[in-house]
Structure formats: C-alpha cells, structure tokens
C-alpha cells in the first residue's frame, strides 16, 4: 500500500524558514519523480517544485524560484522542501505527490499526472 506522509509545517513570520519532509512507503521510491504542491483556501491546487528520480533536475514555479529548494534522499525514501524567505502568499496546505507510472519527466505541474498524495502539512506565514 503506497503511503506518503508529510511533516514540518508550522507558523512563521515573513522572512522565516521551514523545511518540509515527505516519507514514502509501499513502493520503490527511487523509481518515481516526486513533487510538492500547495493549496490555499479558495484557490486551486498549484505545483511548487518537482524533482527527478535521481534528484539531479529540479523545477520550480516562478513564485518560489530562488527561495525554495527541493531535494530527496532515496536511501531514506524522503523528499524535502527547504523554504526560505517565506512570504504571506506562501500560506497554504502543502502536499507531496508521486507521479503516475508511465508519465515521462516534465515540469508541467499537472495534478492529474500524480496518483498518490499525502495528507498535507499546513504552512502559515504572518506579516
């Protein structure tokens, strides 16, 4: 049974930092590229960052590029999102997701291409 479990969310002031983690289980972790998405109240889910299976090719949505860093440790089945210089607009529920089998690497951030999602971890940034 595939499971993704996020942790690391919290409340910070603008300019602060947080690191999110996502532990995967129930599948061969290193075979799938992974991503972080977020959803704020009243808004659609949006892609934040994606990472290839080997961790060598990240992509980011423009609004977080230069502030967020996605990484992974395949030995620990863990995906990370280091978030620096946080802004109130970053406030959202953050989800990690696993790509569907057969989907080739792309930076399209299409939620429909991801078949398993974690339960989410809340990030709140105050001004």
pLDDT per residue, tens digit, the chain (127 aa), is: 999 999 999 999 999 999 999 999 999 999 999 999 999 999 999 999 999 999 899 999 999 999 999 999 999 999 999 999 999 999 999 999 999 999 999 999 999 999 999 999 999 999 9
Alpha helices in 4-126 (DSSP H): none
In the block, tokens 């990240």 appear at: 58
Phi, psi of 111 (to 5 degrees): -55, -30
Phi, psi of 76 (to 5 degrees): -105, 5
Q: How far apart are CA 27 and CA 112, in angstroms?
A: 19
Q: 78-83 and 68-73 as β-strands: parallel, antiparallel, unpaired?
A: antiparallel
């Amino acid at each position: 049974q595939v499971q993704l479990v996020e942790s690391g969310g919290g409340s910070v002031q603008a300019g602060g930092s947080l690191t999110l983690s996502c532990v995967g289980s129930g599948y061969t972790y290193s075979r799938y590229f992974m991503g972080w998405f977020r959803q704020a109240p009243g808004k659609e889910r949006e892609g934040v960052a994606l990472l290839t299976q080997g961790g060598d090719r990240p992509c980011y949505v423009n609004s977080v590029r230069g502030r967020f860093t996605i990484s992974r440790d395949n030995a620990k089945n863990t995906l990370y999102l280091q978030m620096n210089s946080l802004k109130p607009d970053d406030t959202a529920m953050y989800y990690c997701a696993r790509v569907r089998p057969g989907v080739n690497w792309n930076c399209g951030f299409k939620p429909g291409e991801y078949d398993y999602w974690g339960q989410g971890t809340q990030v709140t940034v105050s001004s």
